[in-house]
Amino acid sequence: MQTTPSPDAVRGGASLTQQALEAQTGLLPYALMAFAVSLPIYVWAGGHAPNAAWMSASFVIFAIAWGVFYAVVNWLKEPGAADLRRRGRVQLLAGLVWAGATAQLAAFADAAGPLRETLLMISLAAGVMCVVFTAPWLPSLLVVGPAAVAGPLTFLSLRPENRDTAHLAWGGALLAFALGLMVNRILRKQFTLAAEREALMAERAEQAEASRRLARSKSDLVATLSDEIRNGLTGVAHVLSAAAGRGGRAAPSREQLAAGLDAVNELLCVLNTTLDAETAEAGRLSVDPQPFDVAAIARDLVTGMRPQAAAKGLEIALHIDPDLAGGDGAAIGDPARVRQVLAALIGNAVKFTLRGRVEIRAALAGPGRLAIEIADTGPGLTEDELTLAFQAFQRIRRTSAGVPGAGLGLTLARQLARLMGGELRADSAPGVGSCFTVELPYRAGAVIPVGPEVIADGADRPRLRVLVAEEDSLAAATLRSQLEQLGHKVAQAADGARAVELNRVCDFDLVMVGASAMSDGPQVMAAIRGLDGAAGRTPLIAVIDGDAEEAAGSLAAGASAVLRKPFSMPALARALADATAARTPANDRQVA
């Protein structure tokens, strides 16, 4: 069965070939010197031969071969010699030129009369020198070496009176060839070690560069979060201080509370974006592609951004192509991540546009592709500024002065789009505006899954008895408040053992386990699943920080649903509906 060599094997073979050719190249000047020293000896001996014209022709041929070899040595210094195939062919050809010159000298020596045997042995010595100088590169040794000694050995073996000399010549040639093979094998081992050393050095350089990038990223992360957290928490602290009545201040006004809430939301956005960007940089960011309703997500985001746009006097419009709205198919992607990408782009458009309008358009962009365009009439960016905007922790001073942010939104949005098989492109012009285009896969005939309906009316929503297992008191209080706003009854356990015991002796409709904060979150869920009877079938919701491995571990431990922090009230309601819809009839309990 034919196999394809791996890229590492190909690179390793190229490295060995390059080192062998370079070693042979290093010997070429010495070869020229050796032949130059040998030429006067041969000319002196050949001068006593009867055929003076042939001797002159041999001298000319020898000089031509020397000139060709000199030209090859100079060519090897040129950029064209970087091509190993071309370089190998040139060095083989140069060796065969010398082999041909040696064969011609042997032919001249055969007709040199009394000096025949002496000149043939000198020619054989020239052939042996070719064997020596071709030893570093095996193809040259196997091709040029035999060709160089073939002429002298053939002429020595033609006459019976030279039988003893021919035997001696054959032995010497074979010995030289064997030594050449031994030298080649030793050099190949050295070349292999050198190649491995180069590979290790390259890997070490890559690791060092990765460490430097990580250090820069961490430094930028700390600097960014320090500023954003300080600014956000300072505003919240002022509002809380006023609410607590410290310093004789009056209760905070609605505007102050709104400003504090905006600061908190902006801070959460910065933190979430930063953490997701760091997760993506580490290669641990995962997506769950599935058919989704892009029109519903876009409408939801536009509705949420409309008050902020109206406060700035901006018009915000949404256009869904009729073919997309009524077509038989759906976009493919992770709905939560698509919402995150579009929220970042629409939020940026509203944030940086001072007057005019923001327009969102969704339409099919070709076979199997969906395009969502977010266009604005903001300040616009130059080509260099647009390139900088997609780099992590980089902000455009001309447009972002006084605007909070970590400089990670576009970087993360592009990474998420690519993870879902799409792309994020941008076009912008200063003074005109910008247009960001998210392109995602689109599958004809795909059916959008319908999740469990979440009842919005608190009077019609079933009231559940919920046990919250959470060690963090602030997180537990927040979750309890949200559950009570949804109309549910809540009990709290501050540790895992207490949660398991309460679920064993009490009738709870659902248990929420803070799998991130509790040191034994998965063990708590596994222990609940191990209880006898209906208690072991109680629906479980794991509240995690958002890591894919953590979600998989919680589901493996028995969680009915996973809720990632931070979550909104609708997300909490959907998680409750998912978990309670999945429970078995045997676990159904009467709800008070």
Tens digits of residue pLDDT in 154-191: 988 888 888 888 888 899 889 988 998 898 888 888 88
Residue carrying structure tokens 């909070």: 404
Decide: pTM greater than 0.85. Answer: no
Task: Write down the pLDDT at residue 392.
Answer: 67
Residue carrying structure tokens 């993360």: 412
Residues 6+ apart with CB under 8 A from 372: 294, 298, 342, 360, 361, 362, 437, 438, 439, 440
d(CA 92, CA 72): 11
pLDDT at residue 239 above 80? no
What percentage of the chain has pLDDT greater than the value 90?
5
**Residue 395 pLDDT class (50, 70, 90 cuts):** low
The phi and psi torsions of 134 (rounded to 5 degrees) equal: -100, 0
Q: What CATH number labels 465-587?
A: 3.40.50.2300
Task: Write down the pLDDT at residue 208.
Answer: 85
d(CA 425, CA 429): 14
Tokens of 399: 């447009």
Q: Is the peptide bond before 566 cis (omega within 30 degrees of 0)?
A: yes
Measured CA distances, 106 to 65, 116, 579 (Å):
15, 9, 95
d(CA 35, CA 94): 14
pLDDT at residue 373 above 90? yes
Q: Angle at which helices 409-419 and 335-352 pack, to 10 degrees? A: 150
User: Which residues is 465 bridged to in the sheet?
Assistant: 489
Residue 467: exposure state from Cβ atoms within 10 A (0-12, 13-18, ≥19): buried
Task: Write down the pLDDT at residue 359.
Answer: 93
Radius of gyration of the chain (CA): 40
Tokens of 90: 């040139």
The phi and psi torsions of 377 (rounded to 5 degrees) equal: -110, 40
β-strands 510-513, 489-493 pairing: unpaired
Mean pLDDT (whole number) for 29-55? 66
Tens digits of residue pLDDT in 419-429: 888 999 989 88
Nearest to 17 by CA among 83, 93, 73, 70: 83
Architecture of domain 290-444: 2-Layer Sandwich (3.30)
